[in-house]
Amino acid sequence: MADKPETGELFGVPYNFERPSAGRMLSSYWQPGDRMLVKKPFGVGYTLNLANWRSWVVLLVAAVLLFQERKSRENAEYEDDGPVEVVVDDD
């Protein structure tokens, strides 16, 4: 029986199931001069390259959206006015 490859691509999506090391983890998330998305050090797909300024913009936008969502959920808890009566006139 042939050994299955631990790294490669499947339908254009990279995968890597080699045992991760600290050096490989750090070097994969910080690749100066490379594009915004880089191959994940372990698992399937891509991850953000933190050496690219566009990745920080994506993280900032995600943080702002998360903050707004939590704030609106917090405000919704206090705005419960109870049932509303609707009167319809049939003239």
pLDDT in tens, 2-23: 678 888 888 989 999 988 888 8
Report yes or no: 31 and 12 within 8 Å, Cβ to Cβ. Answer: no
CA dist 18 → 29, 34, 70 (Å): 16, 22, 38
- What sign does the CA torsion over 27, 30, 32, 34 have? positive
> Greatest CA separation found in the chain?
83
**Number of helical H runs and strand E runs in the chain:** 2, 5
DSSP label at residue 86 = -
Q: Is the pLDDT of residue 91 over 80?
A: no
What is the mean predicted confidence (pLDDT) over 24-45?
Answer: 91
What pLDDT score does 6 carry? 87
